[in-house]
Chains A and B, each alone.
Chain A
Amino acid sequence: MAAKPKLCYFRGRGRMESIRWLLAAAGVEFEEEFLETREQYERLQKDGRLLFGQVPLVEIDGMALTQTRAILSYLAAKYNLHGKDLKETVRIDMHADGTLDLMMKVAAAAFKPPGEKEKSLASAVEKAKTRYFPVFEKILKDQGEDFLVGNKFSWADIQLLEAILMIEELDASVLSDFPLLQAFKTRISNIPTIKKFLQPGSQRKPPPDSHYVKVARTVLQF
């Protein structure tokens, strides 16, 4: 029996959260090793499992995968969430790259000084409302289908839901002008694997707090 994938990262969202979402949505159980000290990190680097000395690290199928997007692409392909042909794959990629950009803005804000942090978060919400969500609302409207690409559940749908929920944590009314995204949110949230992930006790991580920021800064020394 194949071993469960093992994730190595801080006990928080950061660059690992989209990976947790993908695995959970695909119904794949995974283990987590949480980085808490500088010593742990230095040991990982010495072990040679971190290609460029960085986390996230996902150990899966005999490989030590690093680089967030490379990990996500691998998992999407492995679990048939990456489209049926090249044209579908590139559309999924563009959507996922866009939502990942948006989520990374939110993730980076946690590390900014007070004042700047609030401005960055407000800017992320603004970008969501004006640049990203209108695009996905239009795609859903034009296609009249349940999913973003190829009338089939894909990585693009998982990441859009993740982004919607993340922005809603910052501004609960953010979907008020986007009725199709509201329906999409309900629909995708009710997919059994995702529903389970959204319940308390799952491996989904809470928004970054000051403790998370402190641990990350201590471990990575920045």
Chain B
Amino acid sequence: MMASKPKLHYPNGRGRMESVRWVLAAAGVEFDEDFLETKEQLQKLQDGNHLLFQQVPMVEIDGMKLVQTRSILHYIADKHHLFGKDLKERTLIDMYVEGTLDLLELIIMHPFLKPDDQQKEVVIMAQKAIIRYFPVFEKVLRGHGQRFLVGNQLSLADIILLQTILALEEKIPNILSAFPHLQEFTVKISNIPTIKKFLEPGSKKKPPPDDIYVRTVYNVFMP
């Protein structure tokens, strides 16, 4: 019997689910999506006890209903050999991913800030990326000269970093100007066949958040 495809439950937009879409796509896993558009839909999921802590993202996979973004990402990474070859590599990947997710969090929250604060926040994002995060990854790549961040093979760390770089470049096009190794990394990881496919039009990659997405999120989640 063929395993059914994973099914993602979330609004039709990036948010906290986008990292999951990236990792599934990179792993070559096809998935279905049930888009949350109304409060009633969310209520139905909650009332049916489908959401462990009443929250999304939720991913139906392998007979389970997984919640908590990081738990979902770790499960998929483990299952598809994207989490290193041993505990030390896994922990290094984990540290890199946690840091990158902290940066990505600023991008995720950005559309929900007051318009007056949004421009200021872009500056803060850029500063954090350029001062705290990018130098670390630039140094790692320069240090070992390999294509991938950890253990000379694709991992969750590479995927989440690429996602974050591309999202930042949408707001700050020259953000990698001082980081030649990250520029090369971006090209190389983007060219991995499964990722290249995900970056092409018609894939399940979601566009940058717009007013419709923001309004949908408020409709679904605000009491």
Q: A70-B91, A98-B52 are in contact. Are A90 and B136 (CB under 8 A)?
A: no
- Verify A69–B70 contact, CB threshold 8 A: yes
Query: With an 8 A cutoff between CB atoms, is B88 at the interface?
Result: yes
Stretch at the interface among B24-32, B94-102, B165-173: B94-102
Query: With an 8 A cutoff between CB atoms, is B75 at the interface?
Result: yes
Chain B residues in 8 Å Cβ range of A101? 53
Residue of A nearest to B71 (CB): A93
Query: With an 8 A cutoff between CB atoms, is B3 at the interface?
Result: no
Chain A residues in 8 Å Cβ range of B64? 87, 90
Chain B residues in 8 Å Cβ range of A74? 87, 90-91, 94
Q: Closest Cβ of chain B: how far from A154's Cβ, in Å?
A: 14
Residue of B nearest to A99 (CB): B53
Query: With an 8 A cutoff between CB atoms, is A97 at the interface?
Result: yes
Q: Closest Cβ of chain B: how far from A108's Cβ, in Å?
A: 14
- CB proximity to B under 8 Å, residues A56-101: 63, 65-70, 73-74, 77-78, 86-87, 89-90, 93-94, 97-98, 101
A118 vs B74: C-alpha distance in the bound complex, in angstroms?
35
Q: Closest Cβ of chain B: how far from A112's Cβ, in Å?
A: 18
Residue of B nearest to A61 (CB): B88
Query: With an 8 A cutoff between CB atoms, is B68 at the interface?
Result: yes
Residue of B nearest to A86 (CB): B78
Query: With an 8 A cutoff between CB atoms, is B160 at the interface?
Result: no
- CB proximity to B under 8 Å, residues A167-205: none
Query: With an 8 A cutoff between CB atoms, is A131 at the interface?
Result: yes
Query: With an 8 A cutoff between CB atoms, is B79 at the interface?
Result: yes
Q: Closest Cβ of chain A: how far from B102's Cβ, in Å?
A: 8
Residue of B nearest to A95 (CB): B52
- Verify A131–B71 contact, CB threshold 8 A: no
Q: A52-B136, A98-B53, A135-B52 are in contact. Are A90 and B71 (CB under 8 A)?
A: yes
Q: A52-B133, A135-B52 are in contact. Are A94 and B68 (CB under 8 A)?
A: yes
Residue of B nearest to A68 (CB): B98
A195 vs B66: C-alpha distance in the bound complex, in angstroms?
33
Chain B residues in 8 Å Cβ range of A63? 88, 91
Query: With an 8 A cutoff between CB atoms, is A28 at the interface?
Result: no
| B-contact bits for A121-142, CB 8 A (1 contact / 0 none) | 0000000000110010000000
Query: With an 8 A cutoff between CB atoms, is A27 at the interface?
Result: no
A101 vs B55: C-alpha distance in the bound complex, in angstroms?
12
Query: With an 8 A cutoff between CB atoms, is A104 at the interface?
Result: no
Query: With an 8 A cutoff between CB atoms, is A53 at the interface?
Result: yes
Chain A residues in 8 Å Cβ range of B90? 73-74, 77
A-contacting residues of B (Cβ < 8 Å)?
Answer: 52-54, 62, 64, 66-68, 70-71, 74-75, 78-79, 87-88, 90-91, 94-95, 97-99, 102, 132-133, 136
For the complex of A and B, 3 pairs with smallest distance between CB atoms: A67-B98, A70-B94, A93-B71
